[in-house]
Amino acid sequence: MATVNIVEDIPPRAQYVANQGDNSFTYAFSIFADTDLQVYKTIAGNIADDLVDILVLSVDYTVTGGDGGGTVDLVNPANAGDTITITRAVPAKRTSDYQTAGDFLASTVNNDFDKIVMMVQQVKEFISTRILGFNQSTNLIGVSTVVPSPEPLKAFRWNATATALEATDDPALSAGKALASEVNAKASEDAALISENNAANTFDEFDDRYLGSKASDPLTDNDGDPLITGALYWNNSPGSMRVYSGSGWVQAYNASLGIADTATSAQLEITNLGVDITGEVTDNLLMSVNKGLDLSNNPGTVAPGTVTTSRILNFYEEGTWSPVVEDESGNSATLLNNNGWFTRVGNKVDFSCYIRLNGKGSMVEGDFVRISGLPYNIGNYAFYTPTFVASRWFSLTTAVVMMGGIGQLATNYFVISRINSSQTNTATMTVSYLSGTSQLMFTGTYFV
């Protein structure tokens, strides 16, 4: 029998969940002989069963080591998810007998005491993983009392053959779930009934409020009940919306807005647009596509009722734009700042911008300089040349006394012009006038 130097306080059990192809598993506790180990392999997905899972030494596995631990090597590698359990099973018997005046060797005495400690550890491990308390007369032959691995909301019970414990759903919990499902189903049924009733009530209220299309003023609602104040219907002759005032039907309109519905005109006469008692406008006037404010009927201008297209305001916008400095070929400078602002009213655009260069990039020195990126293309009108003003400029390579811009028709850019101190006429400014840090500020107005 092998000698064990010392028995450490280590549980005589090791367990692994194998990866595909694993066949070598270590144990850290001491044994005297290979037969002191019992090895189990629980197939992935199966419930542990000692009688089924136990392996045979030299047939299913081999053992190396002993004192201080060693290795169990499977003959056939494990599959992914298999559970490998290694336990010590030193026989609970004594094989030595001391004789009077015989040898009292330290190795023999140490081994005997080591075996006692090992058996105590085995009992400790056994009772920590099994259910005890059976009567002595209980027949436990072929029965495993190993407690299954814990699972959430599971209870333990004997299997169908009463040979092992298994984890299963708690009957009381299942009954509670069934009751809860029944209660929830009833609540859902009640909620559906309430929703159905609410929908019916809502439809009835709507049906009382809007009576649909009719040829003449109705005397009752669609259910034959008295009319409610505010009820509406569409009069299909001549074709208009009418509202019940409480005493009779009138043409539908909002008196506080002064918007009247007339059958002979497609225009809306606006006398008061949502003005509250403080004199502030409380709502927006929304226009349909391609429609605007018709200012033709201003007193003293044109005959009443005459619509003049040029007097219809149909566009307003405020916004920002990003100016770009470039040469006539479109090569642009690098900009540190390029801020632009604009307001468009009708076809008129007022703009301003501030530009600060951070290098001229690949611009050609002899090309003229232009500013592109205007929010709208300049209108293409006969004899029309919009001009713009440079309000300030800094860090040019050549001094100028005046600077401006000339808008190019049907484009979104203008060309910069300048006057030097020695000139009396304007000339197009070339890229050579700009430095890598020039700053320009322009304002202007043009028509789209």
User: Which residue pairs from 122-130 have beta carbons closer than 8 angstroms and sit at least 24 positions apart in sequence?
Assistant: 122/12, 122/87, 122/88, 122/89, 122/90, 124/11, 125/11, 125/12, 125/13, 125/87, 129/13
Which pLDDT score is estimated for 254?
Answer: 47
Question: For residues 94 and 104, what is the distance between their CA atoms, to the nearest angstrom?
Answer: 16
Q: Is the pTM of this model over 0.75?
A: no
Where in the chain is CATH 2.60.90? 317-447
Q: If 0-12 CB within 10 Å is exposed, 13-18 middle and 19+ buried, where does residue 208 land?
A: middle
The stretch 287-313 carries a mean pLDDT of 60
Q: Which residue has the higher pLDDT, 234 or 276?
A: 234
The stretch 61-65 carries a mean pLDDT of 95
Q: If 0-12 CB within 10 Å is exposed, 13-18 middle and 19+ buried, where does residue 57 land?
A: middle
Closest CA to 409 of 437, 448, 368, 372: 448
Beta-carbon neighbour count of residue 324 at 10 Å? 19
Tokens of 421: 């101190």
Torsion from C-alpha of 132, 138, 144, 145, nearest 10 degrees: -10
Question: For residues 153 and 171, what is the distance between their CA atoms, to the nearest angstrom?
Answer: 11
CATH number of 317-447: 2.60.90
For residue range 188-207, what is the model confidence (pLDDT) as tens digits?
888 888 888 887 777 778 88
Q: How far does CA 414 lie from the centroid of its chain?
A: 45
Which pLDDT score is estimated for 157?
Answer: 83
Could you tell me how many residues make up the chain? 448
Q: If 0-12 CB within 10 Å is exposed, 13-18 middle and 19+ buried, where does residue 186 land?
A: exposed
Instruction: For residue 225, give the amino acid letter.
Output: D
Which pLDDT score is estimated for 236?
Answer: 86
pLDDT of 443 > 60? The answer is: yes
> Tell me, what DSSP letter sits at residue 334?
-
Q: Which residue has the higher pLDDT, 157 or 356?
A: 356
Question: For residues 446 and 448, what is the distance between their CA atoms, to the nearest angstrom?
Answer: 7
Closest CA to 329 of 359, 360, 362: 362
pLDDT tier for residue 258 given thresholds of 50, 70 and 90: very low
Which pLDDT score is estimated for 174?
Answer: 64
Contact indicator for 329, 364 with CB cutoff of 8 Å: yes
The stretch 53-72 carries a mean pLDDT of 93
Which pLDDT score is estimated for 306?
Answer: 52
pLDDT-wise least confident of 38-42, 112-116, 156-160: 112-116
Contact indicator for 29, 71 with CB cutoff of 8 Å: no
Strand, helix or coil at 232? strand
- Angle among Cα 383, 389, 392 to the nearest 5 degrees reads 165
